[in-house]
Chain A
Amino acid sequence: MNIATVGFSYLRARPLATLLNVLLLALGVGTIVLLLLATHQLEERMRRDARGIDLAVGAKGSPMQIILSAIYHIDVPTGNISWKEAQEISRHRMVKKAIPLALGDSYRGYRIVGTTPAYLEHYGATLAAGRIWQAPMEAVIGAEVAARTGFGVGAEFHGVHGLGDSGGHAHEDHPYRVVGVLARSGSVLDRLVLSSYQSVWVVHAEHHDIKDVSNIEQQLGDDEKEFTALLLQYASPLAVAILPRYINNNTGMQAASPAYETARLFSLIGVGVDVLRAFALVLILSAGLSVFIALYNALNERRYDLAVMRTLGAGPRRLFALLLFEGLLLAVAGAALGLVLGHVMAEVLGHVLKAAQQIEITGFTWVVDELWVVALALGTGVVAALLPAWRAYRTDIAGTLARG
């Protein structure tokens, strides 16, 4: 028998009110935790995919679209850029590393990226099976693509024009052959089909009847060769001020800064997140109010109990502690349930999004900010219990018993 037993017995004696308070708090906490988990993992994922890429260069158009299409591969490109201009920029003295990308086709919704082995090196990709491509039409597939399609080394498939499951027409003439499967890296590579950029040229060289794909470079005129985008790494910090302006003013291309565009994207998403967060805070606040009202009403029903406890020898501080404990117990239960709820919702959301092949979100991780949410919930419980506890502290024993 102690304060906890008594407090717990009172909460159990009013199961509906207790359940309502715990649920309200849990919903608020759960919503915020879900938001934290989702935005944290989304930002982490996007930051990782853009790491080491100082500038993305594409055809004139929206910089945001260039970033979304060339780095995250979740949008269509703005168009193509000329091979000659791309070569010039790649050789610019302020460019340390340039990775060309030739896009346009996909297989079962997974984008086919024509590039150079430097692209794999950039993300530190390792092979789970097979080898890297050595000739046009040889492909290496990401771990998720392999898992989803069941393809292994030796499999053959036709690319489909566009991005998406239904897609456009199939390129029947030139099948890709899988020569390697990448190990899972958690990066954008997991859901890409990778090949040399010459493969993309072969597939799209519609005015030529390509018999020998190995010397495609010689069969195309320089004006016919095209890339979709270039991923650049600067050689010097000075390049930030010079290179984007140079590209935008002196070439037919458009420069897009991943850092700037992702920050802009997050601030756009952030508005929605802020609205949801405010909504969750309102939930927590109303939970606090509900706890306050429940304890305050209970206090009226229990004023004789409190007076009797005083006659049995309880000091006022004990009654204060009793009410505070009840508020805290509700808060702890609400916070604990909310944490579980938030993580379960994140995991469920992760499974739903996985089907849409967008981003991976898991509930089996946690972020430091969750501690703040828990602290907020516990604080709410304590604050809500303060006034009732103070009234319990001030119980007028003789007056209450005389009226009773």
Chain B
Amino acid sequence: MFDISGLRHAYDGQEVLHVEQWRAQQGEHWLLLGPSGSGKTTLLHALAGILKPAAGRVTVAAQDLGTLGAQALDRFRGRHIGIVLQRLHLIPSLDIAQNLLLAQYLAGLPQDRQRVDEVLAGLDLADKGGAKPHELSFGQAQRVAIARAVVNRPQLLLADEPTSNLDDARCLQALELLQAQALACKATLLIATHDQRIKSRVAHHFDLGVRA
């Protein structure tokens, strides 16, 4: 489903990321492991096409991201990749339903209110469509962020440290939600984390390890 080869990236001349080879199949669930500063976020950004790596090739859904122009890359990302950011970042001036409609609009897809309601209902947010982000608890806001990431039925669902600030019970809940939503879209799920608690719950692991 995605294929990374010879990927290297450096900040200020210091290499922060080096991945020789990593392949994943459609529908697989992966954990991207490694301590803070091991390049997890950089790798995630490279996979999402929001960061151009210094060297190497990234292919997602049979599309070599390096060959796409800036505009085509933006569009590809909006339609095929869903991202749940660590700090969620919902648009504060829009209500919940509008946040999801915005994802459809910015991806250049038709705005489908029915799909929005369906996704919200699936995440137990049916009555929150008209609420503003600041009116939600963290757990609710995280579910909205997940809803926004899957509303366009992405083929690749990325999540950056989704469980790091949660207690054990909520940590498992969040993981199960991501897995269930990925399953529902038949998306490949990739969770970047240094959280040891969820290691045993995901089949495939890719460890960036400790760098010298």
Contacts and interface: CB of A to CB of B under 8 A. Distances in A.
B79 A313 contact: yes
Interface stretch (B56-64, B69-77, B187-195): B69-77
Interface string A142-168: 000000000000000000000000000
A126 interface: no
A316 B77 CA distance: 14
A312 interface: yes
Nearest to A14: B93
Contacts of B98: 1, 5, 9
Interface string A116-142: 000000000000000000000000000
A401 B85 contact: yes
B102 A401 contact: no
B140 interface: no
Contact of B93 (A10, A308, A316): A10
B30 interface: no
Determine the main DSSP class of B at the interface with A: helix
A320 B111 CA distance: 22
A310 interface: yes
Interface residues of A, number: 26
Contact of A312 (B51, B70, B107): B107
Interface string A246-289: 00000000000000000000000000000000000000000000
A255 to B, nearest CB: 71
The bracket for how many chain B residues form the interface is 20 to 34
Determine the main DSSP class of A at the interface with B: helix
A305 B45 CA distance: 17
A311 B51 CA distance: 11
B101 interface: yes
Interface in A286-344: 304-305, 307-316, 318
Given A1-B104, A1-B105, A305-B89, A402 B41 contact: yes
Q: Tell which of A308, A314, A318, A397 has the most Cβ of chain B within 10 Å.
A: A308
B91 interface: yes
A375 interface: no
A302 to B, nearest CB: 9
A368 interface: no
Contacts of A12: 93
A402 B103 CA distance: 21
A310 B103 contact: no
A6 B45 contact: no
Contact of A404 (B87, B104, B108): B87
A87 to B, nearest CB: 82
B121 interface: no
Contact of B83 (A6, A13, A311, A404): A311
B119 to A, nearest CB: 14
Contact of B74 (A13, A305, A314): A314
A235 interface: no
Contacts of B71: 315
B85 A309 contact: no
A240 interface: no
Contact of B51 (A10, A13, A313, A398): A398
B48 interface: yes
B87 A13 contact: no
Contacts of A310: 50, 74
B78 A308 contact: no
B91 A402 contact: no
Contact of B106 (A304, A316, A318): A318
A303 to B, nearest CB: 10
A2 interface: yes
A1 B111 contact: yes
A404 to B, nearest CB: 5
Contacts of B85: 308, 311, 401, 404
Given A304-B89, A404-B89, A312 B50 contact: no
Interface of A: 1-2, 5-6, 9-10, 12-13, 304-305, 307-316, 318, 397-398, 401-402, 404
Sorted from nearest, which 5 A-B pairs have the closest CB atoms?
A313-B78, A398-B51, A13-B93, A313-B107, A1-B101
15 contacts: A1-B104, A2-B105, A6-B94, A305-B92, A313-B78, A313-B103, A313-B106, A313-B107, A315-B75, A397-B50, A398-B42, A401-B85, A402-B41, A402-B45, A404-B89
